[in-house]
A and B are shown apart, each in its own frame.
Chain A
Amino acid sequence: MFSHVFVYRLKSIIRDRQLVFWTLMFPILLATLFNMAFSNLSKAEEFVKIPIAIIDNEAYQKSALKTTIAYVSEQDNPKNNMFLVTLTTRAVAEDLLKNNKVAGYIFVDQVAKLVVKQSGLNQSILKSFLDDFNQSSKTFSEILKRDPSKFQALQADAANRGNFLKETSSTKNKPDTTVNYFYTLIAMACLYGGYMGMKEIIAIQADMSPQGARQNLAPVHKMKVLLYDLSAALVVHYCTLLAVLAYIIFVLRINFGDQIGYILLLCLFGSMTGLSFGAFVGAALKKSEGVKIGILTGVTMSLSFFAGMMYVDMKYIVTKAAPIMAYINPANVITDGFYALYYYDTHTRYFMNLSILVGFFALFCILTYLILRRRRYASI
């Protein structure tokens, strides 16, 4: 009996074009749009060499600034490639600045001076660099005035400036807020499994569909049929979820980390939660199919919004302002599961999220069972 019902339900779900669109094509389309929108956002965060002009006068040619500028503008060394330098006259430099071709220009007199037109990130970097240079130059001059024999030692120090700060990442992977959007997208796709769960509930309820009435007349316990139906729905939905995930990872090249086994497990529990949620909504609401679908869509989109799908900081706002809301939102729990896998070395937070999803699944299944188990219909 299981294989009979399972196979036919599998066929029935796969051939439902509307269902396949919402669970497979829609998340893929949305992921593509996200990718197009966020690729520019990532590029904006990349460091671009700062264009500057330097007045090419005698003072500059004799100054230590010339060597320093050459050092921090090495074309082949990405670590020391800060500036795109134009050596020129003051008039041309003024002109370049006026036309926003350079962030500022430097001219060397007694000290190196900076001329900028406006304030901004590039101007701040340029100013910090020049202040540091001037301060170091002054320090070296003072030391040499007092003890000229220190020249060799200072020269060695200048070439090997000690860095007393070490850059370490608090997270395992490079922080990237755009990946969160894709995590919420997968969470939304998980909850879209609700459409399949709801479809199966409608198909076994005599007061919701003629097919349901026919199934209620058969000599099989309807909870058994529902279980077989939901098993087929889970297989289809999990496969669509994997297809969406594969598209995001392999086609769009979004980094989900390297813990593929844990990712697949999270997707499975997400899918189970989505299906059971839809089944619960389908069983609990005494409304028409259209109204039920509308309510399910509205709830799913709201949960995805609070998980940060439309505005990534929403996740943090909710977590800070109403932590309980973050825990009772399945979309947020799934998103947080991916987040934990991507950023953390330990799996404590991941397994906590997984446990919450198991809890949701159990709760929705029990409630659906209690609603349906002995239901006889007052009207059809």
Chain B
Amino acid sequence: MVIEVRDLVKTYGDLVALDHFNLEVKEGEIFGLLGPNGSGKTTAINCILALLTMNQGTIKIFDQPMSPDAYDIKREIGVVMQNVAVFNELTVFENISYFCGLYITDKKKRAALVEEAIEFVGLGDFRKFYPKKLSGGLLRRLNIACGIAHKPKLIILDEPTVAVDPQSRNNILEGILRLNERGATVVYTSHYMEEVEQICSRIMIMDKGKSVALGTKEELKAQVSMDESATLNDVFLALTGTELRDK
């Protein structure tokens, strides 16, 4: 098992963000984590990555307990966060090289990986650009390159396509499929049902800090007794309701 989460509880004061949450991600799959705003997707990921403290539960990655000092595990993880996490004073090349250098100390190996990452996200013409000069889509691609340049075995992408145009989104999704083909296990969170439907082999729908459904898209449709013509969006609304969450 690549990720194994058992009985995870995380609270913010009186608010229960994760309520005895369980998760298993198998090697080689693209695992989709779906849920409305505030359902606990990002909190779950931050707990899994040992960025956040948790109230209860156990987390294992590559069958090893995850902790802030678990550097051998961290070396094999690549994370593409919701917020673009790059330094504005460094160029595209320098940003990717800097973050890659935190994982790979060998200069030659690093240089090759950085070049590969630049080519992978299609930023070859922008290597000397500063982030402020990049469009939203290019910035997202830079964010992805910074997270995956060191060729991790597990890649976690937290809503990487927020606020990008359809062309860039398509490019990013194709990239994720290629990463998976290269052998990486992928955990993918998104609001966009069609994205998850397009690339994920298994999907978990979360609501109020709990898993409400898990399976392939066909299995999910079967769980709510919907026919073949139903979309994942219909399944999602059937499971999480139509009540507004950002009130």
CB of B71 within 8 A of CB of A220, answer: yes
Q: Which residue of A lies closest to B73 (CB)?
A: A219
CB of B52 within 8 A of CB of A214, answer: no
Contacts of B53 in A (CB 8 A): 376-378
Q: When A1-B105, A210-B83, A380-B46 are in contact, do A15 and B89 touch as well, CB less than 8 Å? A: yes
Whole-angstrom distance between the alpha carbons of A68 and B171 in the complex? 99
Least CB distance, B59 to chain A, in whole angstroms: 13
CB of A219 within 8 A of CB of B46, answer: no
Whole-angstrom distance between the alpha carbons of A308 and B85 in the complex? 42
CB of B51 within 8 A of CB of A214, answer: no
Least CB distance, A300 to chain B, in whole angstroms: 23
Q: Which of A171-220 contact B (CB under 8 A)?
A: 203, 206, 209-211, 213-220
Partner of B74, one of A8, A11, A13, A218: A218
Q: Which of A12-33 contact B (CB under 8 A)?
A: 12-13, 15-16
Contacts of B86 in A (CB 8 A): 211
Partner of B103, one of A15, A219, A225, A378: A219
CB of B102 within 8 A of CB of A8, answer: no
Least CB distance, B184 to chain A, in whole angstroms: 16
CB of A377 within 8 A of CB of B51, answer: yes
Inter-chain contact count A-B, CB under 8 Å? 84
Least CB distance, B227 to chain A, in whole angstroms: 41
Whole-angstrom distance between the alpha carbons of A319 and B161 in the complex? 61
Contacts of A16 in B (CB 8 A): 89
Whole-angstrom distance between the alpha carbons of A379 and B18 in the complex? 13
B195 in the interface, Cβ–Cβ < 8 Å? no
Q: Which residue of A lies closest to B95 (CB)?
A: A8
Q: When A217-B77, A220-B71 are in contact, do A377 and B52 touch as well, CB less than 8 Å? A: yes
A253 in the interface, Cβ–Cβ < 8 Å? no
Contacts of A380 in B (CB 8 A): 46, 51-52
Q: Which residue of A lies closest to B90 (CB)?
A: A12
Whole-angstrom distance between the alpha carbons of A12 and B99 in the complex? 13
Count of chain B residues near A, Cβ 8 A? 33
Q: Which of B75-91 contact A (CB under 8 A)?
A: 75, 77, 79, 81, 83-87, 89-90
Count of chain A residues near B, Cβ 8 A? 29
Q: When A218-B102, A218-B103 are in contact, do A378 and B81 touch as well, CB less than 8 Å? A: no
Contacts of A209 in B (CB 8 A): 85
Contacts of B147 in A (CB 8 A): 214
Contacts of A217 in B (CB 8 A): 49, 51, 74, 77, 79
A43 in the interface, Cβ–Cβ < 8 Å? no
Q: Which residue of B lies closest to A207 (CB)?
A: B51
A-B contact pairs, 15 of them (CB 8 A): A1-B101, A4-B98, A4-B101, A4-B105, A5-B102, A8-B87, A8-B98, A12-B87, A210-B85, A217-B49, A217-B74, A219-B74, A376-B53, A377-B53, A380-B52
Closest 4 CB pairs of A and B: A210-B85, A218-B102, A219-B71, A15-B89
- A residues in contact (CB < 8 Å) with B: 1, 4-5, 8, 11-13, 15-16, 203, 206, 209-211, 213-221, 225, 376-380
